[in-house]
Amino acid sequence: MADRYDASALIAYCADLFAGLGMPAPRAKVVGELLVEADLMGHDTHGLAQAPGYLGDLEAGRMAADGDPDIVADRGGVLTWDGRYLSGVWLVAHAIETAMGRVADHGTVSVSIRRSHHIACLAAFLPLATERGYAVLLTCSDPSVKAVAPYGSYQPTFTPDPLAFGFPTSGDPVLIDISASATTMGLAGRFDAAGERLPGPWLIDNRGRPSDDPAVLKTDPPGAFQPLGGADRGHKGFGLALMIEALTSGLCGHGRAEAPTQWGASVFLQIIDPAAFGGGDALRRETGHLADVCRAAAVPDGGPPVRMPGDGALARKRAALENGVELYPTIMGALQPWAEKAGVRPPRPRA
C-alpha cells in the first residue's frame, strides 16, 4: 500500500523547505499550500513534483526569494507587473488577492505579469476566487521554452500554454484547466523517466510522424508535442495557443521576441465580479442549472454519468483530506536532498 500523508504536514514540510533556503515564511506557506492543493486535486505532475526544480532555482538565485514585483503600469482595473522571477506560485496568489481587492470598484480587474517564475498548477488557484463568488480566468506561457509545434509543422515553437477558468454555481464550482497541447510536458517527462509510451500519439517526431514515444522529444533535431486536437483537429489547439500567447507574452510586452533563457512564465489573470453584470445570484442560478442538466444528460448504457470540470478534482481532494494524500512514488525521494540542505525533517506517513 502506498504511503499517505496529512495535507497539513505536507504543507508545513514544503513551506519549511522554501523558508530554509531564504524565502520569507509567510510566502513559503503560500507556496506550500498551493503546491499541496494540486496534489490534493490529483494534478500530481504540477504539485510537490515541481518543488525540487523550484528549490534548485531558489538556491541558484534564478528564483528571487524576496521583494515585490515592479509596477510597469497601473490603471486601477488593469495592472502590469514585472515579476523579477519571484516565485510564480506566490506571484499569482498575490495577483489574485490584489485583483479581488479592486474588483468591486471596477467590475473586472486584469493583471499581466512578465518575468514570473513557473506557476505550477493553474487549477489550484481557481478556488481562491470562486469561493469568494468571483469568476476567474488564468493563463500562462513560458517564452523561454519551445515544445509544441504549430499545426502542420513538426518544429517546436511554443509551450503547452495552459488555460484555466473557474466560476461559482449553486453547488460546487466549475474548475476548467486545459492546455493548448495534446498533453503536458510534466506528464511526458514522467512517462519518459519510467521508460513507457504515452497512451496516445500525442507527439510528432522530427520527420512529421505522430508518435507516442517521449524519446522523440530528445532527438536532434527534436520532435514536438502536437497541439490539442492532434493530427486531425490540431488547428483548434493551435488557435487556442495563439490566443494565449497574445494574452500572456503579448500584453505584458515580454516574450519570444526577446528570447529569454530563464525558466519562467508570462501570465494573464482576470477576476470578474458577477455583481457588475447580472448579479451573483443570477450567475449561480444559470450555472447551477446548466451543471445539473449536464450531469443528468443521457449516457450510453453502462456509461458513467457526465462530470463537470472540477468534479473529479474536488472529489479527490475531499478523499485525500479524509484519508491522506497519496503522492507519486518519486516525489518524497526527490525532496529528501533539499530537506537535508534545509535541515528539515520530512513528515511521517499516516498510520
What would the pLDDT profile of 218-268 be if each residue is shown by its tens digit? 999 999 999 999 999 999 999 999 999 999 999 999 999 999 999 999 999
Among the listed residues 171, 103, 175, 104, the one whose alpha carbon sits nearest the alpha carbon of residue 137:
175
- The neighbouring-strand residues paired with 323 are none
Q: What is the dihedral of CA 48, 55, 193, 324, to 10 degrees?
A: -20
User: Contact, 267 vs 91, CB < 8 A?
Assistant: yes
Q: What average pLDDT does range 294-306 have in this prediction?
A: 96
Percent of the chain with pLDDT over 70: 100
Given a cut of 70, is residue 81 above it in pLDDT?
A: yes
Q: DSSP secondary-structure letter at 67?
A: -
Among the listed residues 129, 147, 83, 75, the one whose alpha carbon sits nearest the alpha carbon of residue 106:
75
Indicate the residue type of 139. T
Strand 135-141, strand 265-272: pairing: antiparallel
Q: What average pLDDT does range 331-336 have in this prediction?
A: 96
The length of the chain is 351
Percent of the chain with pLDDT over 90: 99
> What domains does the chain contain, in order, with CATH numbers?
1-66+311-351 (1.10.1530.10), 68-182+226-282 (3.30.1370.60)
pTM over 0.85: yes
**Digit-coded pLDDT (tens) for 3-33:** 899 999 999 999 999 999 999 999 999 999 9
Among the listed residues 277, 258, 274, the one whose alpha carbon sits nearest the alpha carbon of residue 266:
258
DSSP string across 152-215: T--S--B---EEEEEE--SSSPEEEEEESBSS-HHHHHHHHHTT---SS--EE-TTS-EE--GG
Among the listed residues 325, 278, 304, 265, the one whose alpha carbon sits nearest the alpha carbon of residue 117:
265
- pLDDT, residue 32, reads 98
Angle subtended by helix axes 25-41 and 88-106, to nearest 10: 90
Given a cut of 80, is residue 2 above it in pLDDT?
A: no
Q: What average pLDDT does range 152-157 have in this prediction?
A: 97
User: Contact, 150 vs 118, CB < 8 A?
Assistant: no
Given a cut of 90, is residue 181 above it in pLDDT?
A: yes
Given a cut of 70, is residue 1 above it in pLDDT?
A: no
**Digit-coded pLDDT (tens) for 91-137:** 999 999 999 999 999 999 999 999 999 999 999 999 999 999 999 99
Among the listed residues 63, 84, 83, 68, the one whose alpha carbon sits nearest the alpha carbon of residue 21:
63
Q: How far is it, in rounded angstroms, from Cα 3 to Cα 39?
A: 14
pLDDT band at 60 (very low <50, low <70, confident <90, very high): very high
Helix (H, G, I), strand (E, B) or coil at 70: strand
State the chain's mean pLDDT as an integer.
Answer: 97
- pLDDT, residue 351, reads 80
Question: Helix, strand, coil: what percent of the chain each, to 5?
Answer: 45, 20, 40
Longest Cα pair distance anywhere in the chain, in angstroms?
57
Q: DSSP secondary-structure letter at 37?
A: H
